[in-house]
Amino acid sequence: MKKTIVLGFLAIFAILATGCTASYQQAFMQQGNDQFTPARFLLITPVNGTYEGTEYPTSGNDVITILSKELSRYTQSISTIPTPVPVQNLDDNTLQQFDYIIAPQILHWEDRLTGWSFRPDRIEVRFDIYNNQRQLINSYSVQARSAYIVWFSKQPKSLLPAPIKTMLKKMFSQAKN
The answer as to whether 37 is a domain residue is yes
3-state secondary structure of 29: coil
Residue 12 lies inside a defined structural domain of this protein: no
Residue 8 domain-assigned (yes or no): no
- Contact 78/43 with Cβ under 8 angstroms? yes
For residue 131, the surrounding DSSP H or E stretch is strand 122-131
> What would the pLDDT profile of 43-99 be if each residue is shown by its tens digit?
999 999 999 888 999 999 999 999 999 999 999 999 999 999 999 999 999 999 999
- Residue 5: inside a domain, yes or no? no
Please give the pLDDT value at position 177. Answer: 43
Answer yes or no: are the C-beta atoms of 164 and 66 closer than 8 Å: yes
Beta strands 122-131 and 136-145, pairing class: antiparallel
Contact 87, 103 (CB under 8 A): yes
| Residue 81 structural domain | 23-174
- The domain tally of the chain equals 1
pTM: 0.81
**1 within domain boundaries:** no
What is d(CA 104, CA 18) in angstroms, rounded to the nearest whole number? 30
106: buried, middle or exposed (CB in 10 Å: 19+, 13-18, 0-12)?
buried
Q: Is 110 a domain residue?
A: yes
CATH number of 93's domain: 3.40.50.10610
Q: What is the pLDDT of residues 107-159, one digit of tens each?
A: 999 887 655 666 788 899 999 999 999 999 999 999 998 876 655 557 888 89
Question: Looking at the domain assignment, is residue 54 inside a domain?
Answer: yes
Residue 65 lies in a domain: yes
Hey, what amino acid is at 90? Answer: L
